[in-house]
Structure 1
Amino acid sequence: MAGPTTAERGERQKLESGPPRPPLVGRLRRFRRLIILLSAVVLAGAAAVWILYGSPWLRTEDVPVSGVRVLTAAQVREAAGVPVGSPLISVDTDAIEARLLRELPRIDSVEVVRSWPHAIGLEVTERTPVLLVEKGAKFTEVDAGGVRFATVPDAPKGVPVLELALSGRAAPSRFPADRLVREAVRIAGDIPDEVARDTRTVKVRSYDAVSLELRGGRTVEWGSAERGRAKARTLLALMKADPGARHFDVSAPTAPASSGS
């Protein structure tokens, strides 16, 4: 039997040795393309860094303020200390927020917004007083969370004044004055809006003996701060049913009473 021919042996050697290797020129071209691509990426990155940090195009130029009611925009800007003229991307918004909350206790929350290309916006939410604590000739504003955040010379309209009328036995050690103030704040936060506008004084005689003095000489016996929402609903219903009454008692909201009509 005859062996393989010379041509057959050549084909077998080609199959065993695999595909032909690419020429050196092709490999050099691919390497140059890779170098060019990497260089382009590095240059693009450097350009982006320069635009963000070194160019005059993205600098902080404006600090708009929104949401202020009692505070002024100028007060907020001054307390914020935004570095005008610095690269917008380098402004520390967390530090500005912390500084505003520390310097202006009237601010309940603030959102510091980076607004491209030139602004740092300050969106302020001020605290709303629900009760006033008289202090000499001035008034300390207290919000619904019990935070005493500002002292003002004149009582804001529509905000009741706290009156502590405690006897020696009315404030045992478990109900000190600070605790009673917090309870009064809870009650002030539960007073219906229709009634709150007419409430002049929240009078605390003890933990479970709190009353409201309204305009026109009307009074509301509220009791403790417990079941505040139920008492609010009952009070509105009672006032609607007996609009001429002078005295309302919702200390037990399931058994309310009115008198003096």
Structure 2
Amino acid sequence: MAGSTTAERGERQQKSSGPPPTRRFTPPPLRVIIILAVALVLLGAGTVWLLYGSQWLRAEEVSVSGTRVLTPAQVRKAADVPVGAPLISVDTEAIETRLRRRLPRIDSVEVVRSWPHEIGLDVTERTPVLLVQKGRNFIEVDDEGVRFATVSRAPNGVPVLELTLSQPGSRTASLRRFGEDRLVREAVQVAGALPAAVARDTRTVKVLSYDDISLDLGGGRTVAWGSGEKGAAKARTLTALMKATPGARHFDVSVPTAPASSGN
């Protein structure tokens, strides 16, 4: 009788030895568990005390960046940061809300904690694109049509808006249909679409009606712009027209596919 093969002998040995023993989890002693629990409680209590009760992590300084017209002192005063309070408890959202409410010139502000003692205020101010004259003062209007500040001197390079009454019937109809705020937004849209060189040279943006907006430039030049629609196309056309007829005094891009210039 032939003897068993090596494979058969290995199979019998595996069956006789049985499955490998499983390792059982042995919980740590109760004393170790208690010590760990007490350590975690102490660590948590220490962290809370460090953040709220100690004098090490308190709001002691307020830094301001990004201002142009506003002064850091104005921003600090409006922010009203609770100096001396625990840094972790300073309500950054409330500070942002106060700043935008008290200083309408601020478009946005980021309030950040800078450990261990500082609150940082990174301010972005609104930029005027138009001025509305009111008596001897000027109201600044940004690119969203927001009237955010009144100044006694007109900033350089910002055109003045005129709601002109040269065509009473047309203007009255536009005011009745669109309202003054809508007409101002149309003028803002036009000012925002102007090529940079033209924007710097624009003295006045005149609104006769919704679709009759014109520009007075330096040197007595004028531009008939039309409505605020197709601003990008009108800007490109105006740039090309000015290059093609540098001596012209009057430009019409109200229909950008059929521009015209005159008055050499």
The two structures have a TM-score, normalised by structure 1, of: 0.88
1:259 corresponds to: 262
Cα distance in 1 for partners of 2:74, 2:135 equals 26
1:178 CA displacement: 2.5
2:184 corresponds to: 181
Match status 1:235 vs 2:252: no
1:177 CA displacement: 2.4
1:49 CA displacement: 0.6
Misfit runs of 4+, over 4 Å: none
SS at match of 2:129: strand
Gaps of 5+ in 2: 1-25
2:34 corresponds to: 35
The two structures have a TM-score, normalised by structure 2, of: 0.87
1:84-116: CA deviation from partner (whole Å, max 9, x where unpaired) = 111110100000000001000000000001111
1:176 CA displacement: 2.7
2:170 corresponds to: 170
Cα distance in 2 for partners of 1:185, 1:218 equals 20
2:227 corresponds to: 224
**Matches for 1:64-83 after TM superposition, within 5 Å:** 64-83=63-82
2:133 corresponds to: 134
Percent identical pairs in the alignment equals 71
SS at match of 1:239: helix
1:211-255: CA deviation from partner (whole Å, max 9, x where unpaired) = 100011111110111101110111111111111111111001011
Cα distance in 2 for partners of 1:152, 1:213 equals 22
2:118 corresponds to: 119
SS at match of 1:201: strand
1:249 corresponds to: 252
Gaps of 5+ in 1: 1-25
Cα distance in 1 for partners of 2:179, 2:81 equals 43
Cα distance in 2 for partners of 1:162, 1:117 equals 49
Question: What is the identity, as a one-letter code, of the residue corresponding to 2:121?
Answer: L
Match status 1:204 vs 2:199: no
